């Protein structure tokens, strides 16, 4: 029986949407917070914390990241008029709005003037805080760019150039954020220092493999385990030291030599009154995706939540597993759905436009073109849970033999577009892009492989 490609495509989309819905920020924050017996109670998994409202004269809310607006609405739902001040920094163009808290729109993936304003206003909240203040900080992916406070001696232009180089060299997000922390006056625990001696409660939506708290939005309220020496080693590993702005490279060298104070470390007094709760993760999204796949009639397996490496290098793995499923029902009987998550990287070699998920889908298609036998009935979707893949308006892209046939009919060569990192133009021409608009959440990426 021939594959019903439209049905398969709609199933993959429904699985993706179920994953995104599971980590909807407003509901996650509102579900985690509650007012009980005069205390703000925070529940996250097995963890619970209580903050007596009688001990706090002021409650301020600071949000930064792609999901910050929706997270703020969740906090407003529970705290309402108890919130005395705050500000929420969001990605420019965000349609979501909190009810009470003001917002600042800022740039992503590169910081802009709005990013400077956002960081300045978030830091300024600290000037009115004391021991009887409670600061609730809402953090999600994208916060590193959305709230930008260059360290002394650096400019916005320095940060933009350095960030662009880091994002295009193939470095992991942990490596990128290690360097960012050492160029910043807000990242790497420095926001906690600005709010000390207030009590600080941080609620986090993770977009980082392994959910490392000091890497998510560059860890503004948690101890930093990295050093200037680590940051300098990273830029040297990727051959960036001589390409960075002189001010940036000089700061990293001086810091590594011990001439500059490093970021606050574990045991620093600024963390004595801090508490962090991890609310949303890629793993939770993957489990929801699997549940939806089973409901749609697929045998389903979550492969990993830690997929990393070059996007184009991971695609052949999915094709290989899909061919096993098609040939023998191993490791899943058909109809089958293989699910994975994580965050890959792209090393720019060409002048095209795209994102890591579109590149992975294009690499899948290119591999399929080279070796079609056994993969004719597979459909692959790679997409970002925030709805924005790279500097494009697409969340990701689909790949299948049907799409490959459309591309060939249009005279498009997947390998040539892949060599130029031009996945967006390729899929726009043959109809493979997934456009969802902003999802107001952000927990890394999702890959769905269907063998109908």
- Which pLDDT score, from 0 to 100, does residue 179 have? 97
CATH 3.40.50.10180 spans which residues of the chain? 24-149+184-226+263-280
Arithmetic mean of pLDDT, 151-155:
97
- Which pLDDT score, from 0 to 100, does residue 129 have? 97
> Above pLDDT 70, what percent of the chain?
100
pLDDT digits (tens, 9 = 90+) for 350-390: 999 999 999 999 999 999 999 999 999 999 999 999 999 99
Residue 47's pLDDT band (boundaries 50, 70, 90)?
confident
Judge whether 204 and 136 are in contact, CB under 8 Å: no
Residue 94's pLDDT band (boundaries 50, 70, 90)?
confident
Judge whether 341 and 305 are in contact, CB under 8 Å: yes
pLDDT above 80 for 46: no
> Above pLDDT 90, what percent of the chain?
95
- Which pLDDT score, from 0 to 100, does residue 1 have? 64
pLDDT above 90 for 440: no
Residue 44's pLDDT band (boundaries 50, 70, 90)?
confident
Architecture of domain 24-149+184-226+263-280: 3-Layer(aba) Sandwich (3.40)
Arithmetic mean of pLDDT, 419-428:
98
| In the block, residue with structure tokens 């000037």 | 127
pLDDT digits (tens, 9 = 90+) for 52-63: 999 999 999 999
Arithmetic mean of pLDDT, 65-88:
97
CATH 3.40.1480.10 spans which residues of the chain? 5-18+283-451
Architecture of domain 5-18+283-451: 3-Layer(aba) Sandwich (3.40)
- Report the candidate in 114, 265, 110, 259 with the shortest Cα–Cα distance to residue 180: 110
Helices 156-168 & 246-256, crossing angle to 10 degrees? 80
Concatenated DSSP letters for 184-250? BSSTTTHHHHHHTTSEEEEEEE--SGGG-TTTGGG-TTS-----HHHHHHHHHHTT-TTTS-HHHHH
Arithmetic mean of pLDDT, 396-425:
97
365/423 Cα distance (integer angstroms): 11
Arithmetic mean of pLDDT, 418-444:
96
- Which pLDDT score, from 0 to 100, does residue 307 have? 96
Q: How many CA atoms lie within 13 A of 198 on its CB side?
A: 26
pLDDT digits (tens, 9 = 90+) for 171-190: 988 999 999 999 999 999 99
């Amino acid at each position: 029986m021939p594959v019903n490609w439209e049905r398969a495509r709609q199933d993959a989309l429904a699985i993706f949407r179920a994953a995104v819905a599971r980590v909807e920020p407003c509901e996650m924050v509102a579900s985690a917070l509650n007012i009980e017996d005069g205390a703000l109670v925070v529940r996250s998994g097995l963890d619970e914390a209580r903050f007596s409202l009688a001990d706090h004269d002021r409650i301020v809310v600071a949000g930064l990241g792609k999901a910050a607006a929706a997270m703020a609405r969740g906090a407003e739902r529970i705290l309402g008029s108890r919130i005395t001040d705050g500000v929420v920094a969001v990605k420019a163009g965000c349609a979501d709005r909190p009810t009470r808290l003001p917002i600042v729109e800022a740039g992503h993936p590169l910081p802009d003037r709005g990013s400077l304003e956002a960081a300045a206003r978030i830091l300024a909240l600290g000037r009115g805080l004391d021991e009887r203040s409670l600061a609730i900080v809402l953090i999600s992916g994208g916060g590193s760019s959305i709230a930008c406070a260059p360290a002394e001696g650096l400019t916005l232009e320095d940060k933009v150039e350095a960030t662009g180089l880091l994002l295009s060299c193939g470095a992991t997000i942990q490596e990128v954020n290690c360097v960012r922390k050492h160029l910043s006056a807000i990242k790497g625990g420095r926001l906690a220092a600005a709010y000390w001696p207030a009590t600080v409660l941080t609620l986090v939506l993770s977009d980082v493999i392994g959910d490392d708290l000091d890497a998510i939005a560059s860890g503004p309220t948690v101890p930093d385990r990295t050093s200037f020496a680590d940051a300098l080693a990273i830029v040297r590993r990727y051959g960036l030291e001589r390409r960075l702005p002189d001010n940036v490279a000089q700061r990293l060298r001086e810091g590594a030599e011990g001439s500059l104070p490093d970021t606050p470390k574990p045991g620093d007094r600024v963390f004595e009154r801090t508490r962090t709760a991890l609310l949303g993760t890629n793993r939770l999204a993957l489990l929801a995706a699997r549940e939806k796949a089973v409901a749609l009639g697929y045998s389903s397996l979550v492969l990993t939540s830690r997929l990393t490496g070059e996007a184009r290098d991971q695609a052949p793995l999915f094709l290989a597993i899909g061919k096993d499923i098609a040939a023998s029902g191993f490791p899943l009987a058909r109809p089958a759905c293989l699910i994975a998550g994580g965050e890959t990287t792209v090393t720019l070699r060409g002048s095209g436009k795209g994102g890591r998920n579109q590149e992975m889908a294009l690499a899948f298609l290119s591999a399929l073109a080279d070796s079609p036998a056994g993969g004719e009935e597979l459909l692959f979707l790679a997409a970002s849970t925030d709805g924005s893949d790279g500097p494009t308006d697409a969340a990701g892209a689909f790949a299948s033999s049907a799409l490959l046939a459309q591309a060939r009919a249009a005279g498009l060569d997947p390998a040539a577009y892949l060599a130029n990192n031009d996945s967006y133009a390729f899929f726009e021409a043959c109809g493979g892009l997934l456009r969802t608009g902003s999802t107001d959440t952000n927990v890394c990426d999702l890959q769905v492989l269907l063998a109908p």
